[in-house]
Amino acid sequence: MELINKKYLLLDKIGSGSFGSIYKGQNIRTKEFVAIKIESIDTELNLLKNESIIYQYLNSCTNIPKVKWYGKDKNNYYMVINLLGDSLQNLLNERKRFSLILILKIGIKILNILKLIHEKGLVHRDIKPDNFLFGLNSLYELYLIDFGFCKSYINNNEHIKIKKNHSIIGSLNYASIMSHNCFELSRRDDLESLSYILFYLYDGSLPWNNISDVNDIIKLKTEMINSNRYPQVLMDFYKYIRSMEFEEKPHYLLIIDSFKREIEYLSKNN
């Protein structure tokens, strides 16, 4: 078995991210299990270096993994972080659908995480169920991972301006409409991606799940504003996001309060 940095034993492959592969590893000195992300040194993007810098910048934030080591050898870049549990996607694969109460509780957890990173001047730009992991032995703690596409929305103490990008950023299923149209992303786009996650958890699928044509996906997402297939509390959230301006700061706490009120109502009436 391969030894990284004379300290971390490379064990089983457990997944892949927006770049490279992710392995379970173990610190041979402390016996602690860790996650090791590996990116080929030949890659042009070098997203792993960017991600390690962002993790270190967010080191004081809860619900974000901690970087234990970043380095390279002649073949690869490596980043060692906390080993976490199953993803939100894996849990959905097991349960097929979630109750509205559980969906809203998950939504609150994610909103708190997004509020935290947004307050640090960052947008994640790849919000999807695979990038939220539960604690190693707990379904109560939720962590956001995979910051390879993360970017600052603040430049010289001012919000960046809207502009065209060369390509879509993020996953087709969860990308915002602005991302599909190759525009610069801001805080509202992370929240729009969250709304698609909540719809997905409620229905077990999305209307565009099996569609590959980008124009068809854009059309379906654009028409979502008039959908009646989802609970009102989720649609109110979605309509609010779709009404936001590019530089606008989201009202995280008002959204969280609306979710909490719905949870209280459902708990009393079920």
Buried b (16+ CB within 10 A) or exposed e, 151-164: bebeeeeeebeeee
Catalytic position from the list 42, 73, 126, 236: 126
Q: How far is CA 111 from CA 40, 75, 151, 209, in A?
A: 33, 38, 18, 24
Structure-block tokens of residue 21: 């592969």
Measured in residues, the chain has a length of 270
Report the distance separating Cα 186 and Cα 248, nearest Å.
Answer: 9
Pairing of strands 138-144, 151-152: unpaired
Pairing of strands 21-27, 8-16: antiparallel
203 is catalytic: no
Task: Quickly count: other Cβ atoms within 10 Å of residue 205's Cβ.
Answer: 13
What is residue 24's DSSP assignment? Answer: E
Question: At residue 100, what is the residue type?
Answer: L
Enumerate the active-site residues: 126
